[in-house]
Amino acid sequence: MAQKPKVDPHVGRLGYLQALVTEFQETESQDAKEQVLANLANFAYDPSNYQYLRQLQVLDLFLDSLSEENENLVEFAIGGLCNLCADRANREHILQVGGVPLITNCLSSPTEETVLSAVTTLMFLSAPGTSSHPELTSVPVLQCMLRFSLSASTRLRNLAQIFLEDCCSPSQVAEARSRQAHSALGIPLPPTEAPQQS
């Protein structure tokens, strides 16, 4: 288990969050990075921290972490973004810096919690009053949601269905369905091993 972050308890909330960000950036330990990112994601749940997290550029830290190979870091980062998306300023920042493709990449994660957080984040980003971004309801995203709506996982199936009903028009869903019927999406690819020569 990673050690607790080395933070002076008398520095206040901003100082504490700054110490976490600094530790994340300076540590070489993957366990410590995971623990710190999980802590930041938990702090992202509290609206009283939003201003501090924006000031410390934690949204960008979360977005950058979505490209990590470590699935735990990706899971904590998308969870933090999901928590922050309840706030309009945070949603607008994510949209302005081009965060949607990083979030949609999480839809193919092997970790169900990562996928659930990614779907929920996309739903928050599609909220009324947020500037329109067609990439949120692009055909590939909708095809993915259509596949998720058939998932054996009740949570994923229900969340995908809510996304399709609340964030998309019936014509968008119909177009994605018609394109999906004519594509090979969902068919497993063959192994990448080279064929054996005899």
Q: CA 3 to CA 77: how far, in whole Å?
A: 20
Is the predicted pLDDT of residue 198 greater than 50, yes or no? no
The percent of residues above 70 in pLDDT, for the chain, comes to 84
The pLDDT of residue 148: 95
The pLDDT of residue 102: 97
Give the Cβ contact number of residue 18 at 10 Å. 16
Is there a contact between 91 and 131 (Cβ–Cβ < 8 Å)?
no
Which tens digits make up the pLDDT trace of 2-56? Answer: 555 555 555 689 999 999 999 999 999 999 999 999 999 999 999 999 999 999 9
**Alpha helix (H) ranges present in the chain?**
12-26, 30-43, 50-55, 58-65, 71-84, 88-96, 100-105, 112-125, 139-148, 154-166, 170-181
The pLDDT of residue 185: 47
Which tens digits make up the pLDDT trace of 51-80? Answer: 999 999 999 999 999 999 999 999 999 999
Which tens digits make up the pLDDT trace of 172-190? Answer: 899 998 887 655 444 343 3
By C-alpha distance, which of 89, 171, 79, 78 is closest to 130?
89
Give, to the nearest 10 degrees, the angle between helix 112-125 and helix 88-96.
100
Kind and range of the H or E run holding 147: helix 139-148
Give the Cβ contact number of residue 25 at 10 Å. 10
Which amino acid belongs to residue 100? V
Is 41 exposed, middle or buried, given 0-12, 13-18 or 19+ CB atoms closer than 10 A? buried
The pLDDT of residue 128: 76
Looking at residue 150, the DSSP 8-state letter turns out to be: T
The pLDDT of residue 115: 96
Which tens digits make up the pLDDT trace of 138-175? Answer: 999 999 999 999 999 999 999 999 999 999 989 989 99
The pLDDT of residue 53: 97
Which amino acid belongs to residue 90? N
Q: CA 149 to CA 194: how far, in whole Å?
A: 35
The pLDDT of residue 82: 97
Looking at residue 107, the DSSP 8-state letter turns out to be: G
